Amino acid sequence: MQNGKNNNGSFFDNILGTLSGICGSVARTTVRFFKNLPGRAMNLVRRKINEYKRRPPREDINKVYVLVGYTTKRHIDARYNRERELMILRRGLLLIIFVLILLISFKTFIPYINVDQYKNMFGIGDVQELTENDPFADNAISTPSVVMETTTETSEF
Protein backbone atom coordinates (compact mmCIF):
# COMPACT_ATOMS: atom_id res chain seq x y z
CA MET A 1 0.00 0.00 0.00
CA GLN A 2 2.88 2.20 -0.54
CA ASN A 3 1.81 3.29 -4.08
CA GLY A 4 -1.43 4.66 -2.67
CA LYS A 5 -3.78 2.41 -4.56
CA ASN A 6 -5.78 1.46 -1.51
CA ASN A 7 -5.32 4.75 0.30
CA ASN A 8 -8.70 6.44 0.33
CA GLY A 9 -7.29 9.90 1.01
CA SER A 10 -5.02 9.97 -2.03
CA PHE A 11 -7.78 8.57 -4.32
CA PHE A 12 -10.12 11.42 -3.42
CA ASP A 13 -7.25 13.86 -3.73
CA ASN A 14 -6.61 12.62 -7.28
CA ILE A 15 -10.31 12.98 -8.23
CA LEU A 16 -10.47 16.40 -6.62
CA GLY A 17 -7.30 17.44 -8.44
CA THR A 18 -8.65 16.21 -11.77
CA LEU A 19 -12.00 17.97 -11.28
CA SER A 20 -10.34 21.21 -10.23
CA GLY A 21 -8.11 21.03 -13.32
CA ILE A 22 -11.15 20.52 -15.57
CA CYS A 23 -13.10 23.34 -13.90
CA GLY A 24 -10.08 25.64 -14.08
CA SER A 25 -9.65 24.86 -17.77
CA VAL A 26 -13.34 25.56 -18.46
CA ALA A 27 -13.16 28.81 -16.46
CA ARG A 28 -10.03 29.98 -18.32
CA THR A 29 -11.58 29.12 -21.69
CA THR A 30 -14.81 30.94 -20.83
CA VAL A 31 -12.96 34.03 -19.62
CA ARG A 32 -10.75 34.01 -22.74
CA PHE A 33 -13.85 33.68 -24.98
CA PHE A 34 -15.57 36.68 -23.40
CA LYS A 35 -12.36 38.76 -23.38
CA ASN A 36 -11.85 38.10 -27.11
CA LEU A 37 -15.50 38.70 -28.04
CA PRO A 38 -15.23 42.49 -28.69
CA GLY A 39 -12.06 42.00 -30.75
CA ARG A 40 -13.68 39.24 -32.80
CA ALA A 41 -16.73 41.44 -33.45
CA MET A 42 -14.52 44.34 -34.56
CA ASN A 43 -12.50 42.05 -36.83
CA LEU A 44 -15.70 40.77 -38.40
CA VAL A 45 -16.89 44.31 -39.09
CA ARG A 46 -13.50 45.34 -40.52
CA ARG A 47 -13.37 42.24 -42.71
CA LYS A 48 -16.86 42.91 -44.12
CA ILE A 49 -15.98 46.56 -44.79
CA ASN A 50 -12.76 45.57 -46.58
CA GLU A 51 -14.59 42.95 -48.66
CA TYR A 52 -17.14 45.56 -49.67
CA LYS A 53 -14.44 48.08 -50.60
CA ARG A 54 -12.48 45.54 -52.65
CA ARG A 55 -15.46 44.45 -54.74
CA PRO A 56 -15.35 45.71 -58.33
CA PRO A 57 -18.09 48.12 -59.36
CA ARG A 58 -21.21 46.48 -60.72
CA GLU A 59 -22.95 48.54 -63.38
CA ASP A 60 -25.56 46.08 -64.66
CA ILE A 61 -27.33 42.90 -63.57
CA ASN A 62 -24.57 40.60 -64.79
CA LYS A 63 -22.09 39.07 -62.40
CA VAL A 64 -18.71 40.70 -61.96
CA TYR A 65 -15.91 38.17 -61.80
CA VAL A 66 -12.68 38.80 -59.98
CA LEU A 67 -9.64 36.82 -61.01
CA VAL A 68 -8.59 34.87 -57.95
CA GLY A 69 -6.02 32.13 -57.78
CA TYR A 70 -5.12 30.10 -60.85
CA THR A 71 -7.98 31.13 -63.15
CA THR A 72 -7.55 32.96 -66.45
CA LYS A 73 -9.58 35.55 -68.33
CA ARG A 74 -10.34 33.01 -71.06
CA HIS A 75 -11.84 30.66 -68.47
CA ILE A 76 -13.95 33.46 -67.00
CA ASP A 77 -15.14 34.54 -70.47
CA ALA A 78 -16.08 30.96 -71.32
CA ARG A 79 -18.04 30.63 -68.09
CA TYR A 80 -19.79 33.96 -68.72
CA ASN A 81 -20.71 32.91 -72.28
CA ARG A 82 -21.95 29.55 -71.03
CA GLU A 83 -24.20 31.23 -68.43
CA ARG A 84 -25.51 33.70 -71.02
CA GLU A 85 -26.29 30.88 -73.46
CA LEU A 86 -28.12 28.99 -70.71
CA MET A 87 -30.21 32.08 -69.89
CA ILE A 88 -31.13 32.49 -73.58
CA LEU A 89 -31.96 28.79 -73.79
CA ARG A 90 -34.15 28.98 -70.67
CA ARG A 91 -36.05 31.99 -72.01
CA GLY A 92 -36.55 30.27 -75.37
CA LEU A 93 -37.79 27.10 -73.73
CA LEU A 94 -40.19 29.07 -71.55
CA LEU A 95 -41.53 30.86 -74.62
CA ILE A 96 -41.99 27.57 -76.48
CA ILE A 97 -43.76 26.03 -73.47
CA PHE A 98 -46.05 29.06 -73.20
CA VAL A 99 -46.93 28.90 -76.92
CA LEU A 100 -47.59 25.16 -76.68
CA ILE A 101 -49.87 25.68 -73.68
CA LEU A 102 -51.79 28.34 -75.63
CA LEU A 103 -52.12 26.09 -78.68
CA ILE A 104 -53.25 23.13 -76.60
CA SER A 105 -55.80 25.25 -74.75
CA PHE A 106 -57.17 26.72 -78.02
CA LYS A 107 -57.38 23.27 -79.56
CA THR A 108 -59.17 22.03 -76.45
CA PHE A 109 -61.77 24.81 -76.24
CA ILE A 110 -62.54 25.44 -79.95
CA PRO A 111 -64.71 22.31 -80.40
CA TYR A 112 -66.94 23.53 -77.57
CA ILE A 113 -67.57 26.95 -79.16
CA ASN A 114 -70.65 27.15 -81.37
CA VAL A 115 -69.79 29.78 -84.00
CA ASP A 116 -73.33 29.77 -85.48
CA GLN A 117 -74.72 30.80 -82.12
CA TYR A 118 -72.43 33.85 -82.02
CA LYS A 119 -73.35 34.75 -85.63
CA ASN A 120 -77.02 34.75 -84.68
CA MET A 121 -76.32 36.81 -81.54
CA PHE A 122 -74.56 39.54 -83.50
CA GLY A 123 -76.92 39.37 -86.49
CA ILE A 124 -74.35 38.13 -88.98
CA GLY A 125 -75.95 35.73 -91.41
CA ASP A 126 -73.54 35.84 -94.32
CA VAL A 127 -70.34 37.81 -94.76
CA GLN A 128 -71.18 38.57 -98.44
CA GLU A 129 -74.53 39.95 -97.43
CA LEU A 130 -72.91 42.02 -94.71
CA THR A 131 -70.35 43.62 -97.04
CA GLU A 132 -72.39 44.16 -100.21
CA ASN A 133 -73.88 47.48 -99.02
CA ASP A 134 -70.67 49.00 -97.68
CA PRO A 135 -71.10 52.79 -97.46
CA PHE A 136 -67.36 53.34 -97.38
CA ALA A 137 -66.58 51.42 -100.57
CA ASP A 138 -65.56 53.45 -103.64
CA ASN A 139 -67.65 51.52 -106.12
CA ALA A 140 -70.93 51.40 -104.25
CA ILE A 141 -73.63 50.68 -106.80
CA SER A 142 -76.89 51.34 -105.09
CA THR A 143 -76.39 52.63 -101.66
CA PRO A 144 -79.61 53.72 -100.03
CA SER A 145 -79.42 57.23 -98.70
CA VAL A 146 -81.67 58.94 -96.20
CA VAL A 147 -82.42 62.63 -96.58
CA MET A 148 -84.07 64.48 -93.75
CA GLU A 149 -85.57 67.92 -94.22
CA THR A 150 -86.18 70.19 -91.35
CA THR A 151 -88.31 73.27 -91.43
CA THR A 152 -87.86 76.10 -89.06
CA GLU A 153 -90.69 78.34 -88.16
CA THR A 154 -90.02 81.69 -86.71
CA SER A 155 -92.53 83.15 -84.41
CA GLU A 156 -92.44 86.39 -82.67
CA PHE A 157 -93.72 86.69 -79.21
| Whole-Å CA distances, 120 to 95, 117, 130 | 37, 5, 13
For the chain, domain boundaries: 8-54, 70-123
- Report DSSP state, residue 123: T
In this prediction, residue 15 carries a pLDDT of 87
115 pLDDT exceeds 70?
A: yes
Query: What does the pLDDT average to over 125-134?
Result: 71
Arithmetic mean of pLDDT, 70-94: 91
pLDDT of residue 52 exceeding 70, the answer is: yes
Q: Does the pLDDT at position 102 exceed 90?
A: yes
pLDDT of 35 higher than 70: yes
In this predicted model, what pLDDT tens digit does every residue of 9-33 receive, in sequence order? Answer: 688 788 888 888 899 999 999 999 9
pLDDT of residue 17: 87
Please determine, for residue 58, whether its predicted confidence score (pLDDT) is greater than 60: yes
- In the three-class reduction of DSSP (H, G, I as helix; E, B as strand; rest coil), residue 85 is classed as helix
- pLDDT at 138 (0 to 100): 66
pLDDT bracket for residue 66 (50, 70, 90): low
Return d(Cα 104, Cα 97) in angstroms, integer: 10
* Residue 59 scores a pLDDT above 80: no
The DSSP element (H or E) to which 14 belongs, if any, is helix 8-54
Residue 137 has pLDDT above 80, yes or no: no
Spatial distance between the Cα atoms of 37 and 31, rounded to a whole number of angstroms: 10
Quote the pLDDT of residue 16.
86
pTM of the model: 0.33
SS3 percent helix, strand, coil of the chain, rounded to 5, is: 65, 0, 35
